[in-house]
Structure 1
């Protein structure tokens, strides 16, 4: 009998959860079948953000988001990354076997160097956190022997790096200490567009907050860029942010019906109203629960502490094995 896969997903705690987070990571994770590990990637947050209040607020908001959307914490392991001391410990051990050349090829680092082309120092503004964070991500995954890691295409490289690092460690210390993870990409929802048609991202300031009020949600949807085609003129669904967003919240039958309305020339104003109703109807109940949870930080903390205990139940035995493998085990 085949055992269920072990799935791991994390969201960096540097901002308010948006529709892209929900469609690309949270919803498929909650719906996935298997042994699930979900975490707040607050150590990763320190790489890009030195605003302590922003990180603290984001941690609360993201935790409340997962709970409001129905995460079953009795079944899943739900925890803060920073509550698991084995993660930074394993990060260091993996750092000691990871080739520098592998980190030189990381997309984020290469992009930073590219931006510095005109500067005398190609590493200007590059911290060791930015440079080596794929190793921290590898530790997140390998510590819990995750089989599958749901990611967008822009994150596949990091899963491949985790596999490389795990294979290197297993080879050097002659054992099967780590499971080699696989990237799980859903081509239909991998990247959701934002207000300006680019990938929805806090970096582009083009996001739609997941639990925006009805008034704010409608206002933001009306800001989504469209072309100049008039009502009655046939419209294509390709590369249309409105249609992509609608599809993410609709059944196949609804998507096909909307494609017909596009061909018939639905007006952009009407389409934006339809999109608002579709999203708002689905998110309204969770929005109410989200607001309630934000006013109950003690409950959120209790859930996360319980989750940390469960996570360390899995992490501690593996770290004992790893310490022994590298020569850092106990004398007796």
Structure 2
């Protein structure tokens, strides 16, 4: 007999998982229509409440904090926040309290302040976006000293006192971008790598992507690609891009290492320059559809945070071992397969 999850029931009833949770556990308000739809499905599948979840909730509760950049400052992080809300609804009946904490992605001090706040709460575990390398090392040590489990997502840092990482292999991600670039630009072309809005020396994710990109071209036999790296602030990007274009008339390809690919596309419209970047932000999708961006590498941030939380929940509830590393596929998106990703 199939075991139905709240997610399965929500899909069958065409309602949210939170609605199903409220119906099953008889808490909160639910519309009459939604109640009837959920109950119809429950009757059809002969659903039995999860007694294990109820017994766990009655014996012990767990607290997991998620520290991530504020999606109001950078829309890349909005799917992560949505993934957290899904996890909150999914695991509430197990006595697991999941709480998000947002920091300014452009402010190191904000990152430190938020983590110190979380540290004082003494949660059982923390799922962390290690955006700033040096500061992450210090805060991970502090968490470990307080016996707080630390997991990472999105930014692949090899540091002590952390349990696991969920995300993509960023070095290989850079190599994938390079292999795509080689296909769409002439041999031995001039190519730019552009980092936007972050301190490159403290941002390992950008370093790894660049290393992978350069490594691919360095391994090509009898090639003479000219690759130049630039680091820009978004606030003066137009001026900087125009300077690069005037300085390098033969530039034919740009690799943007962050989700702000649309910012580069905006200022290169009308130029025959191929652009490869990251993430399915609405702005990026618009430029992809208009062929001003050629490829986007989808990092699936929502799945990253949800999977990271699932590992922590299963460890706390069932003592299940957390994998040291969980690498997600490196998805390549263009105009031909974009709709399939938007549908999902």
Q: TM-score, normalised by structure 1?
A: 0.29
Normalized per residue, which structure has more strand?
2
